[in-house]
Amino acid sequence: MKRIAVLTSGGDAAGMNAAVRAVVRTGLDNGWELYGVRCGYAGLIAGDFLPLGARDVGGIIQLGGTMLRSGRCLDFKTEPGRNEALRNLSENQIEALVVIGGDGSQTGAHLLSQAGLPVIGVASTIDNDLYGSEITIGVDTALNIALESIDRLKVTASSHKRAFLVEVMGRKCGYLALIAGITGGAEVIVIPEFETSPEEVAAELRGAYERGKAHAIAVVAEGARYNARALSDYFQVHKERLGFELRVTTLGHVQRGGAPGAFDRLLATRLGVAAVRQLEKKEYGVLVGLLDGEVATTRLDEVISNKKLLDLKLLETARILAR
């Protein structure tokens, strides 16, 4: 009998619960014992393990967040911290670990794998910045939440003929802003990967009115040099000359808190099942993700040493479609 642990780490993402459920029930189906680790890597260091049966993961597929809780654990970045984690796993006779999380979490997973622990990563972060998966668990739901807000802001923006700036999450990655901007019909999109000056943003917003639009929306990534705060400060200082005001909405953690949609439930389920299949095959030290629409594996060392690139051609598409 195998004893397997699963944890969720980093920023939570809608669908993490579905992935935990899939890992647990697929593992149980193999006759294995399954354990959840509470609060990400902090729970590994504290030895906070929780036996999980089929009923313990019931009623969670439709819930956002993570029943195991997540966390950011600085101690795990230190060797003594990781050694403590490995000691706890060994004392509890846990033979393998599934890590559901983003690039930071997969860096930790790689270090455990290098230390000899059988580890499988599952691609999960709303930022969609993880090499080895074209889309990660939580992205689709976060995008839909951002879109709902953008759609609502457009309504009030049109009533008042106002310019609005909406900031979305994503850390240093502009994926959420780019896709929310295109699918929300934004007049201008500002992302870290392509610098846009405040004057260029102003020109695009003004251009929208000149072309007869009733609203002008800028979708801005939090990680851009000119994010919501920087742009709104600039517009405040140059208000008279620029000739219009901006209303600013920062969506923040609202994007992370929703219930997973069908896409994320299915993606998380497929990846959770695939993680267990990898353990069966004893092919450890890999991330399971989605590549060309299919479940695929990528070595963790490759995952953490490569950067996922954004398709910047989409920015030009967005510009054309905003005319």
Residue 112: which of 125, 126, 95, 93 has the closest Cα?
95
127 is an active site residue: yes
User: Quick one: which of 108, 138, 198, 272 contacts ligand ADP (CB under 6 A)?
Assistant: 108
Report CA 272 to chain centroid distance, whole Å. Answer: 16
- Touching ligand ADP, residues 113-152 (CB under 6 A): 125
Structure tokens at 5: 């642990």
Q: How far is the CB of 171 from ligand F6P (least distance, A)?
A: 4
State the binding string over 18-57 for ligand ADP (x if CB under 6 A, else -): -----------------------x----------------
Residues facing 217 on adjacent strands: 164
Asked if residue 66 binds ligand ADP (CB under 6 A), the reply is no
Asked if residue 169 binds ligand F6P (CB under 6 A), the reply is yes
Asked if residue 141 binds ligand F6P (CB under 6 A), the reply is no
Asked if residue 289 binds ligand ADP (CB under 6 A), the reply is no
Among 103, 127, 129, 264, the active-site one is 127
Q: Which does 15 bind (CB under 5 to 8 A by kind): ligand ADP, ligand F6P, none?
A: none
CA distance 300 to 109: 8
Alpha carbon distances (Å) from 111 to 37, 78, 115, 117, 304 = 18, 11, 6, 9, 11
Asked if residue 69 binds ligand F6P (CB under 6 A), the reply is no
Structure tokens at 137: 């668990």
Q: Which is nearer to ligand ADP, 27 or 108 (CB)?
A: 108
Residue 244: which of 293, 297, 292, 203 has the closest Cα?
203
CA distance 306 to 130: 9
User: Quick one: which of 2, 47, 107, 172 contacts ligand ADP (CB under 6 A)?
Assistant: 107
The beta-strand segments (E) located in the chain are: 3-8, 33-37, 49-52, 96-101, 119-123, 163-168, 188-190, 216-221, 246-250, 286-291, 294-299
Q: Which is nearer to ligand ADP, 73 or 153 (CB)?
A: 73
Contacts with ligand ADP by CB under 6 A lie at 9-11, 41, 72-73, 76-77, 101-105, 107-108, 111, 125
For binding to ligand F6P (CB under 6 A), which residues are involved?
10-11, 102, 125-127, 169-171, 222, 256
Q: Which residues are catalytic?
A: 127
